[in-house]
Amino acid sequence: MFKKICIIGCGLIGSSLARIIKKNNLAEKIVSSNRSDSVNKKVIQLNIVDESNSDTKRMVANSDLIIIATPLSSYEEVILKIKDSLKSGAIITDVGSVKENMLNLVEKNISEKVSWIPSHPIAGTEESGPEAGFAELFQNRWCILTPSKKSKEKDINLLKNFWEKIGSKVDIMSAKQHDYILSITSHIPHLIAYNIVETTLNAQNKTESDIVKYSAGGLRDFTRIAASNPIMWRDIFINNKTNTTKMIDDFIKNLENLKKAIQKEDVKKLEEVFTKTKKIREEIIKAGQDVKKPNFGRK
Amino acid sequence: MFKKICIIGCGLIGSSLARIIKKNNLAEKIVSSNRSDSVNKKVIQLNIVDESNSDTKRMVANSDLIIIATPLSSYEEVILKIKDSLKSGAIITDVGSVKENMLNLVEKNISEKVSWIPSHPIAGTEESGPEAGFAELFQNRWCILTPSKKSKEKDINLLKNFWEKIGSKVDIMSAKQHDYILSITSHIPHLIAYNIVETTLNAQNKTESDIVKYSAGGLRDFTRIAASNPIMWRDIFINNKTNTTKMIDDFIKNLENLKKAIQKEDVKKLEEVFTKTKKIREEIIKAGQDVKKPNFGRK
């Protein structure tokens, strides 16, 4: 499908991409560039790329598709480094969770001869690093493209086709719309998970042992998300500041309402909210976005 | 172990108990009482009890162990109905998630000749009803006993032994201590899950389809807990009002701090919180309270 693909940053997402690209033969050659030499060694050992080096310019040269898979805070450094080494006609994409800021940052730095088409695969686990990746990560998940002024129509179709060959379903929308929707379905849930675990740790004046012992009562579900990559999530909240802080305010307002209902023993109101929230899970399962088994099938 | 056990309320927990009691031969006879005739029929069809009838007094008669497994709001009605039919020397327990209110309610209504020993197995799924139960539900989970003034020492040991034979590990503490700890590890996580799904539904001005499609970004984890039994949880929050509302205040205070850190782009503070919360999951997995697999092992 492509002659040469270059992945910049082989963490969970980057390394999963490398695996599926190799598995499905989507490139004649696949290379990666990582800041750390131990990661460059590791991805060769794992046999998921053909070549890997910290010299990003060299790795990017002659690539038909370049995928930035670093934390958002590294984008500027990456773009400034590679902008003069990009092949004319190349497609450059990313896998970041916030789009509007990054779209503009890259757009103003690259030439007209390159197609810049941001991607966001809605997939991941709480693990990090090249060893945590796996080829099936994107299977049946959505990938959102948020084209820029530098996205050429035929390249959008080619990239869409690429994600579909990886196993994903593709949606196209504006970066602004993306950042709003994802603040709801992903960013706020992560912030809330971090916050509940933080609140829990503070509340315990003795040891953490009671929290650990009785976590099966509900808390353990949140600790999975609150174990996600700290750098990645720090960057997401800062880059989606407006949507995130607005959603925090809405969340707090609703929580204050639930608190009032508890204080007044307003059984009707509580029952109404708790019944309404039940429905959405059935729809998520029907849409194939979660497993049908109780407790996520945990044994 | 017991001649006759009576379970009042065969929902998820009650029916799981019935199954494991039968499987492990912990009673010569096991009966249940349910308000609804269809549930009484169902548990006979499922072959998990020997007899089942809405006449609770009759079912309770001659039982050595009575287990109340109804929502908390039904306890008063149940106790007033059965208090004069309890066999002298019987043990009465429950499986409720809030202890202090219920301890006092039952204590003042039953005779000295009966041992009242509240239990709380920290186990469950998001499903409800007699068909959702399964014998392994309590395996390797904690069960907390909160003895009352009407708990006889030898009966506490007998009940402890009963839970251990069911597969659980047993802790004994005061009802007050229980309600505090569980507000942290279970009640607040549930309230927060309900609240985030509620906030999400309100935020969507168009349809729910975007929420469903992109829920794999994090939200889907919360929808599992927010699909739990509305009546059961309504009762829990109201009966653990003081702890719950105090924890809501702490939660909001911490969330406001995270919001400020995002607004100020305080990368150090965000990174510090997100790193601290990562640790607890490793401990939960080490303690056998969750699975080690990424994404809870979902495929």
Boundary of a domain, candidates A122, A142, A173: A173
- The CA angle B12-B18-B23, to the nearest 5 degrees, is 125
Domain boundary among B135, B158, B173: B173
Phi first, then psi: give them for residue B191, nearest 5 degrees. -60, -40
pLDDT digits (tens, 9 = 90+) for A79-100: 999 999 999 999 999 999 999 9
Query: Do B167 and B194 fall into the same domain?
Result: no
Residue A157 sits in the same domain as residue A181: no
CB-CB: which of A195, A277, A297 is closest to B258? Answer: A195
Q: Which chain B residue shows the shortest CA-CA distance from A281? A: B223
B146 and B194 together in one domain = no
User: Could A230 and B200 be called an inter-chain contact, meaning their C-beta atoms sit closer than 8 Å?
Assistant: no
> Quick one: A204 and A137 in the same domain?
no
The Cα–Cα gap between B96 and B102 comes to: 8
Tally C-beta pairs within 8 A across A and B. Answer: 343
Q: Is the Cβ pair B214, A281 closer than 8 Å?
A: no
Residues B118, B208 within the same domain: no
- Inform me whether the pLDDT recorded for B14 exceeds 70: yes
Residues B284-294: what's their mean pLDDT? 90
**A46 within 8 A of A134, measured Cβ to Cβ:** no
Whether residues A126 and A198 share a domain: the answer is no
Best of A145, A278, A293 to substitute, by most chain B Cβ atoms within 10 angstroms, is A278
Residues A159-191: tens digit of each pLDDT: 999 999 999 999 999 999 999 999 999 999 999
Q: Specify the DSSP class assigned to residue A186.
A: I
Q: What are phi and psi of A262, to 5 degrees?
A: -65, -45
DSSP secondary structure of B172-202: E--HHHHHHHHIIIIIHHHHHHHHHHHHHHH
Mean pLDDT for the stretch of residues B31-56: 98
Contacts of A223 in chain B (CB under 8 A): 277, 280-281, 284, 290
In sequence order, the 6+-apart residues with CB closer than 8 A to the CB of A295 are: B125, B126, B224, B296
Confidence of residue B285 (pLDDT cuts 50, 70, 90): very high
Among A259, A263, A293, pick the best mutation site for testing chain B contact (most B Cβ within 10 A). A259
Shared-domain flag, residues B138 and B205: no
A interface test, pick of B172, B269, B284, B293 with most A CB neighbours within 10 Å: B284
Q: What is the CATH number of the domain that holds B33?
A: 3.40.50.720
- A100 φψ region: left (φ > 0), alpha (ψ -120 to 50), beta (else): alpha
Q: Are A230 and B271 a contacting pair at CB < 8 A?
A: yes
Helix (H) or strand (E) holding B143: strand B142-145
Residue A290 has pLDDT above 70, yes or no: yes
H or E segment to which residue B279 belongs: helix B267-286
- A73 shares its domain with A165: yes
Q: Dump pLDDT digits (tens) for B88-134.
A: 999 999 999 999 999 999 999 999 999 999 999 999 999 999 999 99
Q: How many CB atoms lie within 10 A of CB B272?
A: 15
Q: How far is A294 from chain B (nearest CA, A)?
A: 6
Report residue B218 as tokens: 């994090």
Do the Cβ atoms of A125 and B259 come within 8 Å? no
Residue with the two structure tokens 């945990």 = A298
| Predicted local confidence at residue A64, as pLDDT | 98
Residue B54 and residue B121 in one domain: yes
Residues of A in contact with B298 (CB under 8 A): 290-291, 296-297
pLDDT confidence band for A211 (50 / 70 / 90) = confident
B16/B144 same-domain check: yes
What is the residue type of B137? L
Residue A119, strand partner residues: A145
Tokens of A142: 């959505």
Whether residue A125 sits in one domain with residue A160: yes
Domain with B100, as residue range(s), is 2-173
Provide the CATH number for the domain around residue B262: 1.10.3660.10
pLDDT at A206: 55
What lies within 8 Å, CB to CB, of B7 at 6+ separation is B14, B17, B18, B30, B31, B32, B33, B49, B67, B69
pLDDT of residue A208: 65
Question: What ipTM did this prediction achieve?
Answer: 0.92
Domain's final residue, options A173, A191, A225: A173
Task: Tell me the mean pLDDT in the region B215-235.
Answer: 93
* Pair of tokens at residue B81: 């109905």
**Is residue B182 located within the same domain as residue B169?**
no
Give CA separation, B98 vs B115, B234, B242, in Å: 19, 12, 12
How far away is chain A from the Cα of B253, in angstroms, using its nearest Cα?
A: 9
Q: Which chain B residue lies closest to A250 (C-alpha atoms)?
A: B199
Distance from CA of B286 to the nearest CA of A (A): 9
Over residues A213-239, the pLDDT tens digits come to 899 889 999 999 999 999 999 999 999
At A102 the pLDDT is 95
Q: How many domains does chain B have?
A: 2
pLDDT band at B205 (very low <50, low <70, confident <90, very high): low
Closest chain B residue by Cα to residue A201: B277
Min Cα–Cα distance to chain A from B54, Å: 25
Tell me the pLDDT band of B207, cut-offs 50, 70 and 90. low
